[in-house]
Amino acid sequence: MGKIDMITIIIIAANVIISYKGFNDYGFFDKYKFQVGAVQRGEQIRIFSSGFLHADTAHLFFNMFSLYFFADVVIYQLSPMQFLLIYFGSLALGSLLSLYFHKDEYHYSAVGASGAVMGVIYSAILLQPGMSLYMFFIPIPIPAYIFGIGYLLYSIYGMKNRIGNIGHDAHFGGAIGGYIITLILSPWLFETNLLMIGLLAIPIVILFALKKAGKM
């Protein structure tokens, strides 16, 4: 990977600055986090603002670390404007899926850039399916699609067990957003990358199957 693109730097900086503001100002955090009741009352800004808040520094670091590795792949394979469309489209779809899953839970709330980041991850994997990651604790390269699918499967576990004040549902909405928007922008992928398109659909199908079966 070449030098990090300025758009990636700006988004990471915005997440860090706004998240740290939220860490130290509960009123600010409460005003802009995703909350079902507030969104239903018309506070749609929370659909986007919650994506720049995080539960703690570890949550922030993991999301920005993931974004750092995947964002520039999308920017250079597509364009900066198309990257922003994927980022903010995935963020919105992540929040909307959370709203769908929790529409009857007035006080349900969540924060994090996970939806946007998951959309970027899915987009990058579709565009560059052979890419690998080197993780600190694993001495061998991990195929990026294994990371992406594993991330979503962990999210199912997080949703079922209500782990933390983190929008696990948003991971799926984001993945769906990144998946669909990328395929719309790059329809040639159906000719060159049909296997990866199918593999990345698996955890999304599992989620909706579990939801339909009443197990989510």
193 contacts 142 by C-beta, under 8 angstroms: no
Q: Which residue has the tokens 């983190």?
A: 166
Residue 1: the pLDDT is 45
User: Would 148 be classed as within a structural domain?
Assistant: yes
The set of residues, in sequence order, having a beta carbon less than 8 Å from that of 16 and lying 6+ positions away, is 60, 64
* pLDDT in 10s for each residue of the chain, 216 residues: 446 799 999 999 999 999 999 999 999 999 999 999 999 999 999 999 999 999 899 989 989 988 998 999 999 999 999 999 999 999 999 999 989 988 999 998 889 998 999 999 999 999 998 888 766 566 778 888 888 888 788 877 777 776 665 667 788 899 899 999 999 999 999 998 898 899 888 888 888 887 777 666
Residue 138: the pLDDT is 64
User: Would 107 be classed as within a structural domain?
Assistant: yes
User: Would 74 be classed as within a structural domain?
Assistant: yes
The continuous run of DSSP H or E covering 132 comes out as strand 132-133
**CATH, residue 200:** 1.20.1540.10
Q: Coil, helix or strand for 103?
A: coil
Q: Tally the C-alpha atoms within 13 A of residue 197's C-alpha that lie toward its C-beta.
A: 14
User: Would 43 be classed as within a structural domain?
Assistant: yes
Residue 45: the pLDDT is 96
Residue 163: the pLDDT is 63
User: Would 1 be classed as within a structural domain?
Assistant: no
pTM (predicted TM-score):
0.88
The domain tally of the chain equals 1
The continuous run of DSSP H or E covering 143 comes out as strand 142-143
115 contacts 86 by C-beta, under 8 angstroms: no
Q: For residue 133, give its domain range.
A: 6-212
Q: Which residue type occupies 142? A: I
89 contacts 175 by C-beta, under 8 angstroms: no
Report the distance separating Cα 200 and Cα 3, nearest Å. Answer: 28
User: Would 29 be classed as within a structural domain?
Assistant: yes
